[in-house]
A and B are shown apart, each in its own frame.
Chain A
Amino acid sequence: MKTASTSPAERRYALFLTMVHLGAVATLLLIATLAFDLPSFVDGLPLGMLLVAIGVIMVRKLRDDYVEQLWKAGTASAFVAVIICFLVAPLTYGVLDDLIGGGVAWREYGIPVQLPAAVALIGFYAGFYWRLLAGGQEA
């Protein structure tokens, strides 16, 4: 039977992970509001959850050595995701469009203003959870 007391480091870890999970749920809800074109007042809840979660997980004191590595994995993935979506993809699209034709410029597509944030968040959680669940060493 486990003892009731937990160390401060354990409590920090538990708080951090809880906030990460909360942010992940909020991200999924936010994507759902985008995908199903729900009214803007509906995305207030996940946005609020996300702000709270991100505000907490950005507190450096909560991150011990191991959690810092998880954080870095997430932020690196977020960076890559944003670069791929907003630099590589439009460039590739432009090249293909020139080759194949079609005539619709990338900028003419109605890209939601929340998309960059959604891409960054998805990238962050993908990297974070991959590192948490699969482990693995840094390159």
Chain B
Amino acid sequence: MKNRLKVLRAERDWSQADLAGRLDVSRQAINAIETGKHDPSLGLAFKIARLFETPIETIFLEDEA
């Protein structure tokens, strides 16, 4: 699943470590999400949306069939 995590992070000038710290996950988890290797769980997706104050649907983009 594509996502705009890297863009949103860059807008706030946060490093992956910064974002990981705010979400209480490892930096590797953030990297895996940004590179598309890993889709976050629903709980983490909601946490990310709350952190960025943005709806989930604008962060995570469903792959087109």
Q: List the interface of chain A (C-beta within 8 A of B).
A: 7-10, 12-13, 64-69, 135-138
Q: Distance in Å from the Cβ of B47 to the closest Cβ of chain A? A: 9
Q: Is the CB of A137 within 8 A of B39?
A: yes
CB neighbours (8 Å) of B32 from chain A are 66, 135
| Shortest distance from the beta carbon of B12 to any chain A beta carbon, whole Å | 17
- Chain B CB within 10 Å — which of A8, A9, A65, A138 has the most? A65
Choose from B26, B33, B38, B39 the contact partner of A9 (Cβ within 8 Å): B26
The reply to whether the CB of B58 lies closer than 8 angstroms to some CB of chain A is no
B49 within 8 A of A: no
Q: What are 15 pairs between A and B in contact, CB < 8 Å?
A: A7-B17, A7-B20, A7-B21, A9-B21, A9-B25, A10-B20, A13-B27, A65-B41, A66-B29, A66-B33, A67-B26, A68-B41, A135-B35, A135-B38, A138-B39
Instruction: Report the count of interface residues on B (CB-CB < 8 A).
Output: 21
Q: Which residues of chain B from 38 to 63 have a CB within 8 Å of any chain A CB? A: 38-41, 43-44
Beyond the given A9-B24, A136-B37, could you list 20 further A-B residue pairs with CB under 8 A, ordered by the A residue number? A7-B20, A10-B17, A13-B28, A13-B29, A64-B26, A64-B29, A65-B25, A65-B29, A65-B38, A65-B44, A66-B26, A66-B29, A67-B26, A67-B29, A69-B38, A135-B35, A135-B37, A135-B38, A137-B36, A138-B39
Contact of B24 among A64, A67, A69, A136 (CB under 8 A): A64
Contacts of B25 in A (CB 8 A): 9, 64-66
Please report the C-alpha to C-alpha distance between residue A83 and residue B45 in the assembled complex, in whole angstroms.
Answer: 34
